[in-house]
Amino acid sequence: MITPAAKLNLVDETQRGWGVAVSGGIGVSIDRGEVDSANINVPLTVPVGRVRLNLNASWLWSRAEGHSAFIGVQADWTVRPDLDLVAEAFTRDTDRAGGQLGLRWTPGGGQVDFDLIAGRYIDGVTPTSLTAGVIVRF
């Protein structure tokens, strides 16, 4: 599945000491070219030193499971200027809780991140998963 997403910062964390945004995405199956999922998320970000805490509340839809609510907490720890350790725990109202742990590399401190993340019960059903992601900011 390929999931393009967009995020709009409503309150900038660097100016207020906390931040709020709204984001959303649409997941398209690679083999069928059909929309398989959609989401809307409202994250609240609180920076604490080299760690950023993100609290998330979302609505999700998937072709397989229908509609569900989602809540989660994520911590991004800056190990060095171009490398973050990312940990996340989350649950949906219809599934068991899950979690992820991985690395986010931002070469040259630029506008592109590369993620490699391993997780348990990401979709609430599959025991393990490995996610590779690319994030482009503009």
Give per-residue pLDDT as tens, 72-130: 999 999 999 999 999 999 888 877 788 999 999 999 878 999 999 999 877 666 788 89
* Residue-number span of the structural domain to which 118 is assigned: 5-136
Q: What pLDDT does 16 receive? A: 85
Three-state secondary structure along the chain? Answer: CECCEEEEEEECHHHHCCEEEEEEEEEECCCCCCEEEEEEEEEEEEEECCEEEEEEEEEEEECCCEEEEEEEEEEEEEEECCEEEEEEEEEECCCCCEEEEEEEECHHHCCEEEEEEEEECCCCCCCEEEEEEEEECC
Q: What pLDDT does 123 receive? A: 65
Q: How many folded domains does the chain comprise?
A: 1
Q: What average pLDDT is seen over the chain?
A: 90
Query: Average pLDDT for residues 34-41, to the nearest whole number?
Result: 94
Query: Average pLDDT for residues 3-11, to the nearest whole number?
Result: 91
Q: Domain containing 94 — which CATH number? A: 2.40.160
